[in-house]
Amino acid sequence: MGYGLQGYTIQLDELERKFVSWDERVFEQVSTSYRDILDRYNEDFEYEIKEWGCPNSYKCLDEIIMRKIKYRKNGFLYCYVFELICRSLGHKLNNSELYPLGGSKYIDFLDNWAKPPFGIPLADDFPIVYTIYENDFEDLKVKTSLSKLEDNEKKQFISWVDEAKESKSELILYYY
């Protein structure tokens, strides 16, 4: 198993409206649909939760929705939990050509966008989360066409950008 990209389209402004009103349905939908994964995260990251003081996955979900992220040292668990929000309320994109990739050198062109939304802190290591807004789509397409990706990878990546634009959504990318 290697590293690769997974993309999601999601309307962040709509999601933010739900967060601002603390729509309990968001928490319930994600925590119910992905209970097994959230529990597995708590088991997998038990050391970080106990020793580093990192909140557990349910607390991360609550803090993301409340927009009150308290643990700023390493955002890895927030990033993983936010991916579940993207899966639940966004659209997962086909990544058959982009997972696995040959290495991170192929996605250097994405560095400007390496930032999770909603004030979620960056992870020290993985996952790397990229947030691309509609006003950056054309620039991203140009950078993709000039990148070291293979032609089939470029084609699929550009299709992600086109799909995000057509659905008036942002593009959230995960590299892990």
CA diameter of the chain:
45
Rounded CA gap, 118 and 152, in Å? 32
Extents of the domains making up the chain: 5-10+92-175, 12-89
pLDDT-derived band at 19 (thresholds 50, 70, 90) equals confident
pLDDT level of residue 18 (50, 70, 90 thresholds): confident
Q: 147 pLDDT exceeds 70?
A: yes
Can you tell me the mean pLDDT for 158-176? 98
Q: Tell me which residue of 124, 97, 136 sits closest to 5, measured CA to CA.
A: 97
Single pTM value for the model: 0.94
